[in-house]
Amino acid sequence: MLLETEGLTKRFGGITAVDGVDFALEAGELCSIIGPNGAGKTTFFNLLTGVLEPSDGSIRFAPSGDGGPEPAVDITAASPNETALAGIHRSYQITNLFPTLSVLENVRVAAQASRGSDSWKLWRNVADFEEHYAEATAILERIGLADEAETVTENLSHGEKRSLEIGVALAGDPDLLLLDEPTAGVSSEGVDEVVALIEDVAADHSVMLIEHNVEMVMDVSDRIAVLHRGELIADGPPEDVRGDEAVQEAYLGGYGREESAEGGEHAEGDAAADGGRRASAGGGPP
Amino acid sequence: MIVGFALYPLAYEALLATPAAPFAEAFLPAITFMVVVLYTGLFAMSFDFISGYTGYLSFGHAAFYGTGAYFVVLAANGQVPGIPGGTPFMITLLLGAVVAGLLALVIGSVSFRLTGVYFAMITLGFAQVIYELIRSWGYVSTNPTEGATVSGDALAIGVPYVDALSLDVGRLTGESVENLLGLGIDLSTTVVSYYALGIVVVGCYFAMQRILHSPFGRVMIAIRENEERARAVGYPTYRFKLAAFAISGFFGAVAGGVFAAYSRSVAPDGTFYFLVTADALITTIIGGFGTLAGPVFGTLFTQGLEDVLSTESGGVATLLREGLPANVLEADLFGVSLELFVNTAVDGRAPLYLGIIFVLFVLFVPNGILGTLRDRLGGTVGKRLPDYLRRYRR
């Protein structure tokens, strides 16, 4: 087991955004998390990375899988920088980069973080650390931005920023990569490139992917977990999940019912869950 | 830049010997003003170090300046427990800076739990509390509101305990050098102080520059750009901010200590008061946030303006009064004589014009002098200037 959560719960006031989720991920898997808006997907990521502290439950992480050389650690109360150093890195639904730095520096500074005490060497010039640059350059080649290395990040196109999001997450040498809607806002032609990048990255990383594009999810995932109102309602291979009745209900019937009987209450829950997500993802509408 | 600063006194003296002297006196800052540029410039750099590079506005920065200044003065008077009266200035300067660094750790450990305007306000609060404390602390001197004065010998910059390698500083108490290295150049006390302080300031500049170009400096910039992401890629940002704040406080205190050594007296209003920080903020904005050297340009700019508009050493008002014929001075301008106009609207009115210029800078040159210059050149001046010169040489 690479990652394991037990009864993971997050409440915002009276609203439960993530509700008793028992989830486990094997090393090397690509598991997608799907669910309607406000299902608690991003909140789930925020709990795993320590941005939010769980109200209840626990998270355990074994960086090299079960029986590996590194022991499993409890990261329930870990801070974001601690989970990052433990090996969990993420990309963001809303682009969250270092806007005025060069593309190369974005990745380089992330690579530097995972190299222990290098960042505290006040007296050494940053150019002396060639290995940081080498790693960053290799990652830029992998995500197809090698030609843009010196470009100021805020001048990139939206699609390029989405790739760089993944690049910055990769720079920390993650054991587990959490990708939060990597295709959000990407044009239909651009999606194929992002999907290719995800498949490439998944070949040598364990990946959890939040995605709304269900067709794409069915294609790339080894496994799909479905969240609905914070609860894990289905978890299994894509074909099983596709036929699952509870999932159909959540995606189709759920919406129908929401508009009639319990519409008010549900909409409120969505808004609150979204609010939590916005606060953590740096503002802007999802 | 540094060469320019080094040659300035000589050029200034040389100009005063030429027929252009009245204009040089009027429009170029005197050496006494340049000394002020040095220590306020260093203080502004230390302010820029934390505020311009991590994005946390340290509105209480005067606390560190004051700590350095008071420490040096009290140590010189033998009032700091454990430090005998005659301890060399270079050692007390360093100790004072360390004390300020520790103070920054204390203030920072509370303040960095907040961000944005709240951080600025809480650091300001700390500084004002210390200001009030110092103002009424009888131990400092018999009249603490007026501050304290160095009672002993002049303070020397150089290698401690080696007289030949030290220079006394101070406007009245400093050393003068006659016949420098047998070159026939005489340096007045002010010029000697200028060079001695200049060495300290340049040393601090290079030290800060080195830190900003290190991996640590890159983390500071990453925090400024996007602190959330900096945490997400694995930096314990709180610790980095705290360390950067301590370093900034250290150099702020060096500036204060150098000021104290030169002026030989410190007052709460000139050190711990929040307007001291405001001056640093203004010069940093005019010079360019996040450029380190920019604040020195900004200080040069504001101090130069002040010198030109005051009568302490030449200045426009003196030039006009002495240079214009009497009938012009008495000429009627909308019912006011020109002389009266000069006296009221030019003489000593630097803050008024500085205010106007500051507003214009914020509106039209938000990146400041150096920031805009770097944008235009596409890199730092040192790196890009040779290319440009080569282009013009062809």
Fold of A1-86+222-286: Rossmann fold (3.40.50)
- Copy the structure tokens of residue B2: 């540094």
pLDDT band for position B189 (cuts 50, 70, 90)? confident
List the single best residue of B113, B229, B242 to mutate versus A (max A Cβ within 10 A): B229
Pairing between β-strand A3-12 and β-strand A56-61 as defined by DSSP bridges: antiparallel
| % of chain B at pLDDT higher than 70 | 77
Any CB–CB contact under 8 A between B221 and chain A?
yes
Determine the distance in angstroms separating the CA of B231 from the nearest CA of chain A, rounded to an integer.
5
Cα atoms found within 13 Å of the Cα of residue A134, Cβ hemisphere only: 4
Which residue ranges form the domains of chain B, and what is each CATH number?
2-12+27-285 (1.10.3470)
pLDDT band for position A257 (cuts 50, 70, 90)? very low
Residues of B in contact with A116 (CB under 8 A): none
Q: Rounded to an integer, what distance in angstroms lies between the CA atom of residue A70 and that of residue A82?
A: 15
* Phi–psi pair at A152, nearest 5 degrees: -70, 130
List the single best residue of A94, A106, A109 to mutate versus B (max B Cβ within 10 A): A109
Q: Which residue of chain A has the CA closest to B235?
A: A81
pLDDT band for position B161 (cuts 50, 70, 90)? low
Residues of A in contact with B213 (CB under 8 A): 125-127
Partnered with residue A18 across adjacent β-strands are A10
Q: Which residue of chain A has the CA closest to B210?
A: A123
Any CB–CB contact under 8 A between B384 and chain A?
no
Q: Rounded to an integer, what distance in angstroms lies between the CA atom of residue A100 and that of residue B52?
A: 14
* Phi–psi pair at B79, nearest 5 degrees: -95, -5
User: Does the pLDDT of residue B263 top 90, yes or no?
Assistant: no
Lowest mean pLDDT among A144-148, A237-241, B179-183, B229-233: B179-183
- Whether A56 contacts A8, CB under 8 Å: yes
Any CB–CB contact under 8 A between A179 and chain B?
no
Q: Rounded to an integer, what distance in angstroms lies between the CA atom of residue B313 and that of residue A255?
A: 80
User: Does the pLDDT of residue B280 top 60, yes or no?
Assistant: yes
Q: Rounded to an integer, what distance in angstroms lies between the CA atom of residue A251 and that of residue A214?
A: 11
The residue assigned the tokens 């479905």 is: A226
What is the 8-class DSSP label of residue B84? -
Q: Encode pLDDT of B22-43 as tens digits.
A: 666 666 777 888 888 999 999 9
What is the 8-class DSSP label of residue B187? B
Q: Rounded to an integer, what distance in angstroms lies between the CA atom of residue A134 and that of residue B130?
A: 48
Cα atoms found within 13 Å of the Cα of residue B229, Cβ hemisphere only: 29
DSSP character string of B101-122: HHHHHHHHHHHTTS-HHHHHHH
Partnered with residue A15 across adjacent β-strands are A12
Q: Which residue of chain B has the CA closest to A100?
A: B225
Mean pLDDT across the stretch A136-158? 93
Determine the distance in angstroms separating the CA of A253 from the nearest CA of chain B, rounded to an integer.
37
Q: Which residue of chain A has the CA closest to B222?
A: A98
pLDDT band for position B321 (cuts 50, 70, 90)? low
Render the burial of A267-276: b for 16+ CB within 10 Å, e for the rest. Answer: eebbebbbeb
Any CB–CB contact under 8 A between B387 and chain A?
no
Q: Rounded to an integer, what distance in angstroms lies between the CA atom of residue A233 and that of residue A278?
A: 24
First to last CA, chain A: 32
Any CB–CB contact under 8 A between B96 and chain A?
no
Residues of A in contact with B230 (CB under 8 A): 98, 109
Partnered with residue A61 across adjacent β-strands are A3, A73
pTM passes above 0.95 = no
| % of chain A at pLDDT higher than 90 | 57
Q: Which residue of chain B has the CA closest to A108?
A: B218
Lowest mean pLDDT among A106-110, B117-121, B181-185, B211-215: B181-185
Any CB–CB contact under 8 A between B239 and chain A?
no
User: Does the pLDDT of residue B319 top 80, yes or no?
Assistant: no
Any CB–CB contact under 8 A between B222 and chain A?
yes
Q: Rounded to an integer, what distance in angstroms lies between the CA atom of residue A51 and that of residue B297?
A: 41
Q: Specify the DSSP element, H or E, that contains A5.
A: strand A3-12
Q: Rounded to an integer, what distance in angstroms lies between the CA atom of residue B216 and that of residue B207?
A: 13
Lowest mean pLDDT among A124-138, B299-313, B318-332: B318-332
Q: Encode pLDDT of A114-130 as tens digits.
A: 887 888 988 889 888 99
CB contact under 8 A, B218 and A114: no
Q: Encode pLDDT of A27-72 as tens digits.
A: 999 999 998 888 899 999 999 999 999 999 999 998 876 666 777 8
Own/partner pairs, A232-237, CB within 8 angstroms, 24+ separation: A232/A21, A232/A22, A232/A23, A235/A23
- Whether B287 contacts B281, CB under 8 Å: no
